[in-house]
């Protein structure tokens, strides 16, 4: 019995699974941000906009959150079905952060 062929086949299968999983993750978190002269912005891959003010817009993407800071910010168009968002106003900063699940947040509070 040739164990090296069996082990090699097993390693290839594991590698294929890892590549497929990485591709699925990349597809889930894909989004696009276009910024036009710091005064207009469009984003694709949007799941939700939980909060927005004239100084901050929080955009929930797949697996992460994008916070937009600026002045006179206004959400001009939001289509969560298509995953598209348009913002106008002076954009000063963009900040990405990982989303935390509500259960993990609750667990941290009640520890």
pLDDT in tens, 52-103: 999 999 999 988 899 999 999 999 999 999 999 999 999 999 999 887 655 5
DSSP string, 14-46: HHHHHHHHHHHHHHHT--EEEEETTTEEEEESE
What predicted TM-score, i.e. pTM, was given to this entire model?
0.64
In this structure, are 15 and 47 located in the same domain?
no
Residue span of the structural domain in which 2 resides: 1-30
In this structure, are 43 and 91 located in the same domain?
yes
- Please name every residue paired with 83 in a beta bridge, in sequence order, or none if there are none: none
- Please name every residue paired with 84 in a beta bridge, in sequence order, or none if there are none: 44, 79
In this structure, are 39 and 89 located in the same domain?
yes
Residue 100: give its domain's CATH number. Answer: 2.60.40.2000
Cα angle value 28/32/37 (rounded, 5°): 165
Q: How many domains does the chain have?
A: 2
In this structure, are 50 and 87 located in the same domain?
yes
Q: Which three-class secondary structure state does DSSP give residue 57?
A: strand
In this structure, are 18 and 41 located in the same domain?
no
């Amino acid at each position: 019995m040739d164990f090296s062929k069996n082990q090699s086949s097993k390693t290839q299968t594991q590698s294929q699974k890892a590549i497929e999983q990485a591709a699925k993750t990349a597809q889930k978190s894909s989004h696009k941000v276009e910024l036009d002269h710091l005064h207009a912005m469009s984003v694709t891959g949007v799941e939700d906009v939980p909060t927005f003010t004239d100084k901050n817009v929080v955009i929930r993407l797949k697996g992460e959150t994008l916070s937009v800071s600026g002045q006179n910010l206004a959400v001009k168009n939001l289509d969560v079905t298509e995953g598209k968002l348009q913002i106008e106003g002076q954009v000063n900063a963009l900040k990405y952060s990982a989303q935390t699940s509500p259960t993990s947040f609750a667990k941290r509070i009640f520890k």
